[in-house]
Chain A
Amino acid sequence: MRIDPGTLRNKRAAKDSRILVTGAAGFLGSHFAVALLESGYRVTAVVRPAKKLGARERIDRIADWFALENEARRRLTVVEGDILDPGWAAGACGSLGTIDEIVHCASSTAFNERRRAEVEATNIDGLRNVLELADRGGCAFFHHVSTAYVAGRRQGACAEGWVEEGPFTNVYEETKARGEIIARDACRAGGIRLNVYRPTIVYGDSRTGRALRFNALYFPVKAAVYLRDLCLADIRERGGRRAAELGVRLAEDGGLVMPIRIEVARQGGLNLVPVDHCVRAFMALFEDALEGGVYHIANPRSTPIEDLIAYATRHFDLSGIEACGPGSFAGRPRNALEVLYDSYLEIYRPYMQDLRTFDAANAAPILEKRGLVCPAFDHGVFDRCMSYAVEVDWGSKLFAG
Chain B
Amino acid sequence: MPRIVPEARATAAQCRHYAMCKIDYLATGLCPSGPEKHFVTFYPQGRMDLYRGLAEGRIPVTEALLEAADTCSLCGICDPQCHFVTGLQPTSVMRALKAYAEEFRREGGQAVRPAEDEALRRLRAIVGRDWASNDPAVLWTYADDPFPLSGPQMPRYVVLPGSREDVAEVLRLARELDLAIAIRGNGGSVFGFVFTDGIVLDMARMRGIVFDLDNWTAAVEPGVTSFELQREAFRRGLRINAAEPAATVCGNLVCTGTFSTWSNVYGTAADNFVDMEFVGRDGRVFRLNEKAGPNHYAFEHRVAPSPGICTKAFVKLHPATDDEEGLLVPFADLDGAVLFARELGQRRIGLAVAVLGPHYIAGFLSPDEDLAGRLKEALPEALGVSHVVFAIADRFARDAIREMAPAVIDAGLLRLLMLGLPRLLEPRWLDLAREYEGGRPFELLCRPEMRPLVEAALLPSPETIAEAVPESLRPFYRDLYARPEMTDMVWLNMHRIVSARMSRRKHMFAFLVYVPPARLDVIHEILDGFARVAEAQGLDHDFGFLTPMDLGKRAILEYDYYLDHTDPAEKEKIARAMPELDPWLDGLAARVPGVMSLKYVFSQGCARKEGFLYRI
Residue of A nearest to B452 (CB): A245
Which residues of the partner chain B approach A336 to less than 8 Å between Cβ atoms?
Answer: 449-453
Contact with B along A279-315 (1 / 0, CB 8 A): 0000000000000000000000000000000000000
Within 8 A of A (CB), among B421-478: 427-429, 431-432, 435-440, 444, 447, 449-453, 455-457, 459
Which residues of the partner chain A approach B427 to less than 8 Å between Cβ atoms?
Answer: 396
**A243 and B449 contacting across the interface, CB-CB below 8 Å:** no
> Whole-angstrom distance between the alpha carbons of A185 and B71 in the complex?
82
| B384: interface (CB < 8 Å) | yes
**A243 and B437 contacting across the interface, CB-CB below 8 Å:** no
**B449 and A226 contacting across the interface, CB-CB below 8 Å:** no
Residue of B nearest to A349 (CB): B438
Which residues of the partner chain A approach B439 to less than 8 Å between Cβ atoms?
Answer: 112, 114, 343, 346
**A344 and B456 contacting across the interface, CB-CB below 8 Å:** no
B435, B440, B450: the one within 8 Å of A339 (CB)? B450
**B456 and A243 contacting across the interface, CB-CB below 8 Å:** yes
| B332: interface (CB < 8 Å) | yes
Which residues of the partner chain B approach A110 to less than 8 Å between Cβ atoms?
Answer: 437
Residue of B nearest to A112 (CB): B437
Which residues of the partner chain B approach A234 to less than 8 Å between Cβ atoms?
Answer: 456
Within the complex, the shortest CB–CB distance from B438 to chain A, in Å, comes to 4
**A340 and B444 contacting across the interface, CB-CB below 8 Å:** yes
**A394 and B431 contacting across the interface, CB-CB below 8 Å:** yes
Residue of A nearest to B456 (CB): A242
**B456 and A231 contacting across the interface, CB-CB below 8 Å:** yes
Within 8 A of B (CB), among A326-341: 334-337, 339-340
Contact with B along A347-376 (1 / 0, CB 8 A): 110000000000000000000000000000
Contact with A along B220-248 (1 / 0, CB 8 A): 00000000000000000000000000000
> Whole-angstrom distance between the alpha carbons of A334 and B450 in the complex?
11
Which residues of the partner chain A approach B444 to less than 8 Å between Cβ atoms?
Answer: 339-340, 343
**A215 and B435 contacting across the interface, CB-CB below 8 Å:** yes
> Whole-angstrom distance between the alpha carbons of A222 and B452 in the complex?
20
In this complex, the interface size class of chain A, counting residues with CB under 8 Å from chain B, is: 20 to 34
Within the complex, the shortest CB–CB distance from B426 to chain A, in Å, comes to 10
Taking chain A's interface residues, is the majority helix, strand, or loop, or is none over half, making it mixed?
A: helix
> Whole-angstrom distance between the alpha carbons of A336 and B440 in the complex?
17
| A13: interface (CB < 8 Å) | no
Within the complex, the shortest CB–CB distance from A160 to chain B, in Å, comes to 27
**A339 and B456 contacting across the interface, CB-CB below 8 Å:** no
**A347 and B432 contacting across the interface, CB-CB below 8 Å:** no
Which residues of the partner chain B approach A245 to less than 8 Å between Cβ atoms?
Answer: 452
| A65: interface (CB < 8 Å) | no
A227, A231, A243, A344: the one within 8 Å of B438 (CB)? A344
**A246 and B452 contacting across the interface, CB-CB below 8 Å:** yes
Which residues of the partner chain A approach B438 to less than 8 Å between Cβ atoms?
Answer: 112, 343-347
| A219: interface (CB < 8 Å) | yes
| A168: interface (CB < 8 Å) | no
Within the complex, the shortest CB–CB distance from A95 to chain B, in Å, comes to 27
Residue of B nearest to A233 (CB): B456
Residue of B nearest to A229 (CB): B428
**B437 and A222 contacting across the interface, CB-CB below 8 Å:** no
**B432 and A334 contacting across the interface, CB-CB below 8 Å:** no
Within 8 A of B (CB), among A188-237: 215, 219, 222-223, 226-227, 230-231, 234
Which residues of the partner chain B approach A215 to less than 8 Å between Cβ atoms?
Answer: 435
Within the complex, the shortest CB–CB distance from B149 to chain A, in Å, comes to 34
> Whole-angstrom distance between the alpha carbons of A114 and B385 in the complex?
11
> Whole-angstrom distance between the alpha carbons of A334 and B427 in the complex?
27
Within the complex, the shortest CB–CB distance from A217 to chain B, in Å, comes to 12
**A223 and B440 contacting across the interface, CB-CB below 8 Å:** no
B332, B435, B450: the one within 8 Å of A114 (CB)? B332
**A230 and B457 contacting across the interface, CB-CB below 8 Å:** yes
| Contact status of A230 and B437, CB under 8 A, knowing A222-B432, A339-B447, A394-B431 | no
Which residues of the partner chain A approach B449 to less than 8 Å between Cβ atoms?
Answer: 334-336, 339
Residue of B nearest to A394 (CB): B431
| A111: interface (CB < 8 Å) | yes
**B432 and A114 contacting across the interface, CB-CB below 8 Å:** no
**B453 and A340 contacting across the interface, CB-CB below 8 Å:** yes
> Whole-angstrom distance between the alpha carbons of A110 and B444 in the complex?
18
Which residues of the partner chain B approach A219 to less than 8 Å between Cβ atoms?
Answer: 435
**B452 and A114 contacting across the interface, CB-CB below 8 Å:** no
Which residues of the partner chain A approach B432 to less than 8 Å between Cβ atoms?
Answer: 222-223, 226
Which residues of the partner chain B approach A339 to less than 8 Å between Cβ atoms?
Answer: 444, 447, 449-450
**A242 and B455 contacting across the interface, CB-CB below 8 Å:** yes
Which residues of the partner chain A approach B452 to less than 8 Å between Cβ atoms?
Answer: 242, 245-246, 336
> Whole-angstrom distance between the alpha carbons of A219 and B433 in the complex?
11
**A246 and B435 contacting across the interface, CB-CB below 8 Å:** no
Residue of B nearest to A248 (CB): B456
Residue of B nearest to A334 (CB): B449
> Whole-angstrom distance between the alpha carbons of A134 and B4 in the complex?
65
Contact with A along B246-281 (1 / 0, CB 8 A): 000000000000000000000000000000000000
> Whole-angstrom distance between the alpha carbons of A347 and B450 in the complex?
19
Which residues of the partner chain A approach B431 to less than 8 Å between Cβ atoms?
Answer: 222, 394, 396
Which residues of the partner chain B approach A396 to less than 8 Å between Cβ atoms?
Answer: 427, 431
| Contact status of A344 and B450, CB under 8 A, knowing A230-B456, A230-B457, A394-B431 | no
| Contact status of A246 and B456, CB under 8 A, knowing A336-B449, A336-B450 | yes
**A114 and B456 contacting across the interface, CB-CB below 8 Å:** no
Which residues of the partner chain A approach B428 to less than 8 Å between Cβ atoms?
Answer: 226
| Contact status of A111 and B437, CB under 8 A, knowing A234-B456, A242-B455, A396-B427 | yes
> Whole-angstrom distance between the alpha carbons of A326 and B439 in the complex?
21
Within the complex, the shortest CB–CB distance from B427 to chain A, in Å, comes to 6
> Whole-angstrom distance between the alpha carbons of A114 and B440 in the complex?
8
Which residues of the partner chain A approach B451 to less than 8 Å between Cβ atoms?
Answer: 336
> Whole-angstrom distance between the alpha carbons of A348 and B431 in the complex?
17
Which residues of the partner chain B approach A227 to less than 8 Å between Cβ atoms?
Answer: 453
Residue of B nearest to A347 (CB): B437
| Most chain A CB within a 10 A radius of its CB, from B332, B384, B428 | B428
> Whole-angstrom distance between the alpha carbons of A394 and B429 in the complex?
12
Within the complex, the shortest CB–CB distance from B147 to chain A, in Å, comes to 34
**B332 and A246 contacting across the interface, CB-CB below 8 Å:** no
| Most chain B CB within a 10 A radius of its CB, from A222, A340, A348 | A340
Which residues of the partner chain B approach A231 to less than 8 Å between Cβ atoms?
Answer: 456
Which residues of the partner chain B approach A111 to less than 8 Å between Cβ atoms?
Answer: 437
Within the complex, the shortest CB–CB distance from B395 to chain A, in Å, comes to 25
Contact with B along A238-251 (1 / 0, CB 8 A): 10001101100000
Which residues of the partner chain A approach B437 to less than 8 Å between Cβ atoms?
Answer: 110-112, 347-348
**A114 and B447 contacting across the interface, CB-CB below 8 Å:** no
Within the complex, the shortest CB–CB distance from A141 to chain B, in Å, comes to 34
**B457 and A344 contacting across the interface, CB-CB below 8 Å:** no
Within the complex, the shortest CB–CB distance from A221 to chain B, in Å, comes to 12
Which residues of the partner chain A approach B457 to less than 8 Å between Cβ atoms?
Answer: 230
A112, A114, A334, A337: the one within 8 Å of B453 (CB)? A337
> Whole-angstrom distance between the alpha carbons of A199 and B489 in the complex?
51
Which residues of the partner chain A approach B447 to less than 8 Å between Cβ atoms?
Answer: 339
> Whole-angstrom distance between the alpha carbons of A350 and B427 in the complex?
29
> Whole-angstrom distance between the alpha carbons of A222 and B427 in the complex?
13
> Whole-angstrom distance between the alpha carbons of A226 and B453 in the complex?
11
> Whole-angstrom distance between the alpha carbons of A392 and B96 in the complex?
49
> Whole-angstrom distance between the alpha carbons of A335 and B448 in the complex?
11
Within the complex, the shortest CB–CB distance from B331 to chain A, in Å, comes to 12
Which residues of the partner chain A approach B332 to less than 8 Å between Cβ atoms?
Answer: 114
> Whole-angstrom distance between the alpha carbons of A184 and B591 in the complex?
50
- Other A-B pairs, 9, CB within 8 Å; known A114-B440, A242-B452, A336-B453: A114-B384, A222-B432, A238-B459, A335-B449, A336-B449, A336-B450, A344-B436, A345-B438, A394-B431
Closest 7 CB pairs of A and B: A242-B456, A245-B452, A347-B437, A343-B438, A346-B438, A336-B449, A339-B449
| Residues of chain B having any CB pair with chain A under 8 Å | 332, 384, 427-429, 431-432, 435-440, 444, 447, 449-453, 455-457, 459
User: Could you list 15 examples of A-B contacts with CB < 8 Å?
Assistant: A111-B437, A112-B437, A226-B428, A227-B453, A231-B456, A242-B453, A242-B455, A243-B456, A334-B449, A335-B449, A336-B449, A336-B452, A337-B453, A339-B444, A346-B438
